[in-house]
Chain A
Amino acid sequence: MSNLDQVFVTLLHWVVGLVPASLQPWVSTLVIILAIMTVFGTCFALTTILERKILGRMQNRYGPNRVGPCGLFQPVADGIKMLTKEDIVPFSSDQVVHFLAPLVLTIPIWLAFAVIPFGRNMTAIDLNAGLLFFFAIGSASELAVFMAGWAGQNKYSLLGAMRAVAQMISYEVPLVLAAVPVVMLAGSLSLNDIVQAQSGYIAGGLPRWNVLTPWGLAAFIMFLIAATAESNRSPFDLPEGESEIIAGYLTEYSGFKYALFFLGEYMGLFAITSLAVTLFLGGWHAPLPVLEWLPSWFWFGLKFSALIFGFIWIRATLPRLRLDQMLSLAWKFLVPLALLNLLAAAVWHWSGQCRLFPGSMAVRWLVCAAILVFPGIRLGRSLNGLSATPRQYRYAK
């Protein structure tokens, strides 16, 4: 069964084999780039349609089913529409920044896929500072969002850009802090080592994934909240809050540039989801030893699509947060809990070594969980308290 698992790797070696030795490094990187782009390109097309259909089904309606069999050609129709729409550049905007913004947003996000392990030895580049590289690339998109908002020279887009940048900065802190305990326990920043640390099974049954440890579960939930905020989705889509400020920083864009922003947003979501799978759900490891025969990239795909469905599910349920609620959630709830999580992970790691008495596994679980749950509820209650104070309205003097 291992040849099915390594089918892509053997394919790559076969293709690289065809080329003379001098060109081989170039061709192999080219093939990898091509593979990532086609896979995530089709994934992007599929997710746009699946998102609308799932949202529809959750609101007791069908979702697009006109173009193609039950709507599967809808992304083709959307694509053609986006490409043929006139690309309006407002007169007063400075053309250079207006043109560069979508590029500066989408190109770094494609780079982020270079470090993610999609399957057993299926990682494009195994940087030993892979996780840090991923966050550095993620932070470059804030500048692009500002450029987009600034280029339009209109108040709404600048306001939207300000909100987006404030949101992305304040949610990058909990995102990174949630990933720190994983690095602490795995002992390395390289994503391959992190996935390796999560291999193996406890007592033949439970996989050794990070999400099954108390600090891992808390970090996973915080990571998902910060990920939805980082990719400007669902309850945190303040930057393009349609009802309030038209389309935020996307107001001045149409046609192909708008499609690029759309692509950038979804690729950001895919990158963050694949990172969440690698850090917390054991990358490409099978959940049970008996299921080992399925190929590793299949498990990665399964967990990936489960998380994407979760994001869409959250989007179908939760209303949009107010700006102050969103920021106070980040700074007053997520950051302190993430710091506390470091402590819980340390206690978990330390208590792992000493086997004091037989039932120590359960006690260890409870102790770490207790460190997180009680302060969490306490903080949560203070969070609700925040919104309980009546809003004061300052009328124009």
Chain B
Amino acid sequence: MPSDITFYLLAALTLAGAVAAMSLRNIVHCVLCAAGAFAGLAGIYLQLNAEFVGVAQLLVYVGAVAILLVFTILLTHGADVKLGSALISSGWKTGLAISALVLVCLVVPVLTSPGLRHEAASGVVAPMMQKIGEQLMGQCVLPLETTGLLLTAALLGAVVIAMNDKTAAGPKTGVPPNHEAGKEPGLR
């Protein structure tokens, strides 16, 4: 029984974090709730005996992506959100309807289809670090190398895009932006 309680606990934590991440006004709180949701998900993976994925999720999402999001917020002064601005875009009713529709068409097949009801999970999997290593290096060595290539490309691309291009527009682009609400600064 204890594994049920932990599952429901972690599921509640993850869902609460996700909903809070999408609905709070202060962006920094949103990112922290999102990090909470990712950590809850890592807990669920660990509970599903997928140790490596759970720990990787913890390392990548809670450790790196959350910090990345926070740095972006600080670099784009998104934190001091002007109080007047609306939280949700204008046509929110249709958006909400569509997402409800998405939810329904996902949940209905899950609940009705007979195949997904089997109770007991298939036996405890043996320690699988070695097997993951062999699979990574054996069967999926091509995806591994391409992911490595992709990660380096993404690394360089991100740096080049986000770099403060002093050369192109001269040093003055480094001037901190002005904060008056609504005043449209001249497009450079």
Contacts and interface: CB of A to CB of B under 8 A. Distances in A.
A132 B66 contact: no
Contacts, number: 62
Chain B interface, DSSP helix/strand/loop, else mixed? helix
Interface in B51-79: 51-52, 55-56, 58-59, 62-64, 66-67, 70-71, 74
A128 B127 contact: yes
Contacts of A150: 28, 70
A128 B54 CA distance: 13
A136 B59 contact: yes
A190 interface: yes
B32 interface: yes
Interface stretch (A65-73, A137-145, A309-317): A137-145
A97 B62 contact: no
A27 to B, nearest CB: 14
Interface string A84-121: 00000000001011001000000000000000000000
B130 interface: yes
A137 B32 CA distance: 16
A140 B58 contact: yes
B26 A133 contact: no
Nearest to B67: A142
Contacts of A133: 51, 55
Contact of A127 (B51, B70, B74): B51
A203 to B, nearest CB: 31
Given A97-B29, A142-B63, A189-B129, A136 B70 contact: no
A139 B29 contact: no
B28 A129 contact: no
Nearest to A141: B63
Interface residues of B, number: 24
A129 B58 CA distance: 13
A277 to B, nearest CB: 22
B52 A132 contact: yes
A97 B70 CA distance: 14
A132 B62 contact: no
Interface string A145-160: 0110010000000100
Contacts of A146: 67, 70
B63 A132 contact: no
A348 to B, nearest CB: 20
Given A94-B26, A96-B29, A97-B28, A139 B55 contact: no
Contacts of B130: 188
A142 B64 CA distance: 9
Nearest to B26: A94
Contacts of A158: 74
A139 B51 contact: no
A165 interface: yes
Interface string B20-40: 000000101100100100010
B67 A143 contact: yes
Nearest to B35: A143
Contacts of A4: none
B129 A128 contact: yes
15 contacts: A94-B29, A100-B32, A128-B129, A129-B129, A132-B59, A135-B59, A140-B63, A142-B63, A143-B62, A143-B67, A147-B32, A150-B28, A150-B70, A158-B74, A165-B67
Interface of B: 26, 28-29, 32, 35, 39, 51-52, 55-56, 58-59, 62-64, 66-67, 70-71, 74, 127-130
- Nearest first, the 6 closest Cβ-Cβ pairs linking A and B are A139-B63, A136-B58, A136-B59, A128-B127, A136-B55, A132-B55
Interface of A: 94, 96-97, 100, 127-129, 132-133, 135-137, 139-140, 142-143, 146-147, 150, 158, 162, 165, 169, 188-190
